[in-house]
């Protein structure tokens, strides 16, 4: 069984295509929790979801990695303050522009503030930026455990075996948890050569064996393209346990202490029931799929949702929403993965250094690191560090960015080319902007925009620190583009989102999101994506691409937004992202059919790829040319054509929208009434009418005409 105790997680696993050093790694401990009490869970033996063997935290270590992630990806609060939105999803939203300049409503993002990084005590540092305690007033509260299912109804312990849950010999809770005082503990293997960097081979050499290292085969996630389901995937041993004849209920060993109870049911009981319900709902084993007599599968599913909500500390709404994304057993792996931090990763800034040189410099400081994987030439995974990774001289000198592995992906997909003009629509604090800048080798021009003025400060700071000379920082609501500026070669829209992919960094997402939040975010994202598409020049010689990304896994914010864009902009199409791994986006979801090309989009999951949950889509923007069929149709009267905004419109609508003759009469009548009312002049059937008949009202064509009727003299 793969449920890990909350505070006994395995250390971060290597990313796709990377090697794992031969020594034990220390997990980051600084993250916030929104869920069940530590003591309860600490009596359950931790087992890594990544392997069949039991993984416990190393007994000794040098020092944990102290970092603050430079990116805050959960932006609902700000997003909801941006512009005026209505949740009407089927109509194209009117882009109501509200300049946010100077307003700075959202909370400040100062996570990249170096002075703060230095000030922060190591144990307080956190991956996320939120100050939220995860319990917003007025929001849905944690569900209580339901009791329509009795533990007695579950399969009984037939062989008395209890091997998953007994406390391992010599592993008391403190050892497993590794309390805050053990910073001085040394990894017994600390001096061992375990890094490819020390060999000082060239960069290619560093990457040679990453994907094939047998030591990490069980931990690698999608190391090779197209191998999502092979050894790359983190596998839980859920299925094995649940289908095992000898499945037993765990013995409760509380050491004589009083346990914490959740409405009369201990978390351990909930956990036990949850595992059992997974088996029932997954329906993979005949015996287990019987479930509780008289209860339907949906009864079991409902109870499972409640148990997951209670055990992992979510609101029930979000559990239901997230569970729809996966088969039941995979859903558990997802929730499980959200309980452990993702690997600490950095991106070497090639404007200032080479990855090899940076690695060597950090190794000299005692940092244990390795290349992130074959898919990146600039990423490094940091396993342990005796110094805060966010405050080394190399960091301050702009040689690297603290950046989650998943946030490399949209930039790789964007594939900027030297000398291009690029718009980064929602760019603060600049993790992706500075990466784009490096890929452009400081050529071309990047407009790095963010509507949050406060956040543009950290953006500007990063741009300077990283030596980016091709960046212009701006502060607009991105829905003002392309009116502010257009004609870009490429546009990145790393959209504000709910952050359901980064729950391990910001546990407040578990409890503070409601259905309305997702509606509003999806609405904003739809507005933004149309602006992104309209800001690209279809005539770009080298580009004409838009990348849309979110750090959320909900379909509302991902496929539904992309599908909407495809419907609204017939001159754009999806193209492959060029990313080597990730699972295909949904082509259909909950009975809703999306465009068939949605399979070109990519999803990334914590439980599958050991990265933050992420979504990436890449569009190619074509010229708005009339299709041959439209031209043919024009001779006989087109049925459908593009309007000035590139939307497909019905000819019938256009006709009814403006009938010159009818309008002339109405206008004339209006004028007569106006004269009569204001000046008492009664216009008869004489001259005035005659004059009106002598003129024809036509709608001017082209952008300058703007729909205002003009009078022209009728030909004699
Ligand atoms: C996911 S974060 C961007 C992270 C950034 N791309 C990076 O890599 O560092 C989303 C950003 O969108 C910004 N934002 C939210 N609504 C916006 C809007 N209407 N226009 C422009 N930016 C917006 C937020 O301030 C936030 O900085």
Q: Provide the CATH number for the domain around residue 350.
A: 3.40.50.150
Cα of 215 vs centre of ligand 1, distance in Å, is: 39
Residue 282: pLDDT band with limits 50, 70, 90: confident
Report, as an integer, the average pLDDT of 63-74: 45
Query: Measured between alpha carbons, how far is 624 from 627 in angstroms, rounded to an integer?
Result: 9
Phi, psi of 348 (to 5 degrees): -65, 135
Task: Please report the pLDDT score of residue 675 as a whole number.
Answer: 80
> Which letter does DSSP use for residue 601 in this model?
S
Residue 629 has what pLDDT? 54
Indicate left, alpha or beta for 347 from its phi (over 0: left) and psi (-120 to 50: alpha).
beta
Q: Is 241 a known ligand-binding residue?
A: no
| 621, 641, 673 - which closes a domain | 621
The residue contributing the CA closest to ligand 1 atom 6 is 427
Measured distance CA(423)–CA(427) in Å, rounded: 9
Index of the ligand 1 atom closest to the CA of residue 106: 25
Domain hosting residue 524, numbered range:
344-621
How far, in Å, from the CA of 538 to the mean position of ligand 1?
A: 25
Shortest-distance Cα residue to atom 13 of ligand 1: 426
Q: Are residues 616 and 678 in the same domain?
A: no
Higher pLDDT residue, 278 or 108?
278
Q: Is the C-beta atom of 426 inside 6 A of ligand 1?
A: yes
Residues 6+ positions from 31 with CB-CB distance below 8 Å? 126, 127, 128, 341, 504, 505, 507
Dihedral of CA atoms 221, 224, 227, 229 in degrees, nearest 10, equals: -10
Residues 614, 698 within the same domain: no
Q: Is residue 550 part of a domain?
A: yes
Return the structure tokens found at 58: 């190393």
**Is the pLDDT at 476 greater than 60, yes or no?**
yes
Same domain, 369 and 511: yes
Would you mind telling me the total number of residues written for the chain in this entry? 716
Q: Looking at the annotation, which residues are catalytic? A: 551
Q: Would residue 298 count as lying in a domain?
A: no
Check if 451 has its Cβ closer than 6 Å to any atom of ligand 1. Answer: yes
Residue 579 lies in a domain: yes
398 domain residue, yes or no: yes
Query: In the prediction, which pLDDT does 683 show?
Result: 73
- The residue behind tokens 């558990």 is 332
- Are 461 and 609 members of one domain? yes
Mean pLDDT of 197-216: 34
CA–centroid distance, residue 64 to ligand 1 (Å): 30
298 Cβ contact partners less than 8 Å away, ≥ 6 residues apart: none
Two tokens, residue 84: 């005026």
pLDDT of residue 667: 67
In angstroms, what is the span from residue 685 Cα to ligand 1's centroid?
63
Same domain, 605 and 667: no
Is 694 annotated among the ligand-binding residues? no
Residue range 485-500: average pLDDT?
98
The CB of 410 under 6 Å from ligand 1? The reply is no
Q: Tokens 């100050």 sit at which residue?
A: 131
Q: Report long-range pairs for 209-212 (Cβ below 8 Å, ≥24 apart).
A: 209/19, 210/17, 210/18, 210/19, 210/370, 210/371, 210/373, 210/374, 211/17, 211/373, 211/374
Q: Identify the residue whose C-alpha is closest to ligand 1 atom 1.
A: 73
The answer to whether 612 is a known ligand-binding residue is no
pLDDT in tens, 597-640: 999 999 999 999 999 999 999 999 999 876 555 554 444 333 33
Q: Which two tokens stand for residue 714?
A: 């009728």
Looking at the fold, whether 666 and 550 belong to one and the same domain comes out as no
Within a domain: residue 339? no
Q: How far is CA 534 from CA 146, 416, 433, 480, 644, in A?
A: 50, 18, 20, 11, 12
Pair 530, 562: CB distance under 8 Å? no
Domain check: are 696 and 573 in the same one? no
Examine the domain organization and report whether 558 and 690 are in the same domain. Answer: no
The SS3 call for residue 546 is strand
For residue 413, which of 545, 551, 558, 586 has the smallest C-alpha distance? 545
Confidence of residue 415 (pLDDT cuts 50, 70, 90): very high
pLDDT, average across residues 677-686: 71
For residue 2, what pLDDT is reported? Answer: 33
Share of the chain above pLDDT 90, in %: 45
For the cut 70, the answer to whether the pLDDT of residue 158 exceeds it is no
477 is in an annotated binding site: yes
Lowest mean pLDDT among 126-135, 224-233, 386-395, 707-716: 126-135
Spatial distance between the Cα atoms of 78 and 93, rounded to a whole number of angstroms: 19
Residue 454 Cβ < 6 Å to ligand 1: no
Which of 603, 621, 639 terminates a domain? The answer is 621
The answer to whether residue 260 sits within a structural domain is: no
pLDDT tens-digit readout, 82-123: 433 333 434 444 434 333 333 333 333 333 332 332 222 222
- Residue 435 counted as domain residue: yes
The domain boundary residue, chosen from 568, 597, 621:
621
614 and 670, same domain (yes or no)? no
Q: 429 CB less than 6 Å from ligand 1? A: yes
Spatial contact of 475 and 129, defined as CB atoms under 8 Å apart:
no
- pLDDT at position 511 over 60: yes
Residues 617 and 663 placed together within one structural domain of the fold: no
Pick 87 or 463 by higher pLDDT: 463
Contact 522/560 with Cβ under 8 angstroms?
A: yes
CA distance 271 to 206: 43
Say whether both 664 and 599 belong to one domain: no
**Binding residue per annotation — 217?**
no
- Over range 323-347, report the average pLDDT: 97
Element of type H or E holding 494: strand 490-494
Q: Give, for ligand 1, the residue of 74, 75, 438, 468 to mutate: max count of ligand atoms closer than 8 Å to Cβ.
A: 75
Neighbours of 178 (CB within 10 A): 22
Q: Is 500 a domain residue?
A: yes
Task: Quote the pLDDT of residue 289.
Answer: 59
Give me the number of domains the chain comprises.
2
Task: Answer for the pair 534, 105: CB distance below 8 angstroms, yes or no.
Answer: no
- 522 with 667, same domain: the answer is no
pLDDT surpassing 80 at residue 567: yes
User: Cα of 6 to ligand 1 centre, how many Å?
Assistant: 31
């Amino acid at each position: 069984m793969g449920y890990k105790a909350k505070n006994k997680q395995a250390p971060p696993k290597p990313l796709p295509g990377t090697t794992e050093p031969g020594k034990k790694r220390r997990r980051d401990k600084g993250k916030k929790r929104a869920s069940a009490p530590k003591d309860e869970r600490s009596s359950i033996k931790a087992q890594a979801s990544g392997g069949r063997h039991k993984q416990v935290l190393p007994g000794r270590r040098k020092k944990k990695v102290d970092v603050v992630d430079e990116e805050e990806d959960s932006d609902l609060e700000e997003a909801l303050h941006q512009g005026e939105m209505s949740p009407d999803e089927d109509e194209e939203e009117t882009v109501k522009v509200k300049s946010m300049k100077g307003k700075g409503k959202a909370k400040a993002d100062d996570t990249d503030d170096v002075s703060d990084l230095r000030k922060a005590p190591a144990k307080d540092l956190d991956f996320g930026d939120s100050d939220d305690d995860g319990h917003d007033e007025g929001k849905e509260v944690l569900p209580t455990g339901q009791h329509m299912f009795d533990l007695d109804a579950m399969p009984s312990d037939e062989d008395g075996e209890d091997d998953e849950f007994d406390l391992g010999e010599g592993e008391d809770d403190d050892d497993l948890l590794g309390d805050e005082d053990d910073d001085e503990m040394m990894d017994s293997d600390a001096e061992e050569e375990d890094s490819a960097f020390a060999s000082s081979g060239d960069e290619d050499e560093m990457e040679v064996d990453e994907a094939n290292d047998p030591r990490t085969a069980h931990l690698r996630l999608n190391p090779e393209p197209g191998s999502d389901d092979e050894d790359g995937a983190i596998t839980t041993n859920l299925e094995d346990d649940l289908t095992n004849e000898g499945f037993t209920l765990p013995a409760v060993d509380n050491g004589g202490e009083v346990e914490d109870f959740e409405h009369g049911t201990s978390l351990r009981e909930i956990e036990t029931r949850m595992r059992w319900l997974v088996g029932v709902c997954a329906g993979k084993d005949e015996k287990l799929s019987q479930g509780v007599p008289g209860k339907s599968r949906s009864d079991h599913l409902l109870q499972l949702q409640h148990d997951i909500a209670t055990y992992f500390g979510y609101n029930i709404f979000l559990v239901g929403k997230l569970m729809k994304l996966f088969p039941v057993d995979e859903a558990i792996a997802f929730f499980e993965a959200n309980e452990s931090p993702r690997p600490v990763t950095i991106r070497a800034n090639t404007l200032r250094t080479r990855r090899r040189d940076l690695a060597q410099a950090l190794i000299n400081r005692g940092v244990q690191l390795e290349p992130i994987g074959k898919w990146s030439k600039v990423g490094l995974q940091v396993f342990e560090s005796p110094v805060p990774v966010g405050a080394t001289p190399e960091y301050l000198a702009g040689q690297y960015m603290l950046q989650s592995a998943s946030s490399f992906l949209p930039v790789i997909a964007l594939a900027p080319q030297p000398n291009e003009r690029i718009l980064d629509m929602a760019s603060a604090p600049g993790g992706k902007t500075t990466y784009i800048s490096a890929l452009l080798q400081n050529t071309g021009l990047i407009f790095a925009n963010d509507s949050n003025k406060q956040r543009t400060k950290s953006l500007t700071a990063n741009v300077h620190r990283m030596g980016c000379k091709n960046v212009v920082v701006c502060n607009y609501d991105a829905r003002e583009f392309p009116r502010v500026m257009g004609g870009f070669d490429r546009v990145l829209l790393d959209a504000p989102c709910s952050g359901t992919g980064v729950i391990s960094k910001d546990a407040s997402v578990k409890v503070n999101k409601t259905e309305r939040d997702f509606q509003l975010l999806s609405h904003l994202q739809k507005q933004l994506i149309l602006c992104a598409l309209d800001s690209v020049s279809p005539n770009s010689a080298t580009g004409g691409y838009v990348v849309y990304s979110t750090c959320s896994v909900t379909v509302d914010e991902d496929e539904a937004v992309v599908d909407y864009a495809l419907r609204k902009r017939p001159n754009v199409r999806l193209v492959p992202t060029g990313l080597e791994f990730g699972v295909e986006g949904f082509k259909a979801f909950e009975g809703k059919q999306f465009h068939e090309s949605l399979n070109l989009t990519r999803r990334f999951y914590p439980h599958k790829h050991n990265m933050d949950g992420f979504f990436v889509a890449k569009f190619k923007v074509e010229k708005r040319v009339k299709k041959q069929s439209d031209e043919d149709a024009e001779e006989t009267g087109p049925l459908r054509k593009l309007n000035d905004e590139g939307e497909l419109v019905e000819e019938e609508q256009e006709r009814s929208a403006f009938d010159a003759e009818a309008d002339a009469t109405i206008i004339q009548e209006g004028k007569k009434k106006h004269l009569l009312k204001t000046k008492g002049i009664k216009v008869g059937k004489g001259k005035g009418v005659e004059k009106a008949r002598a003129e024809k009202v036509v709608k001017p064509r082209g952008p300058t005409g703007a729909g205002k009727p003009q009078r022209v003299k009728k030909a004699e």
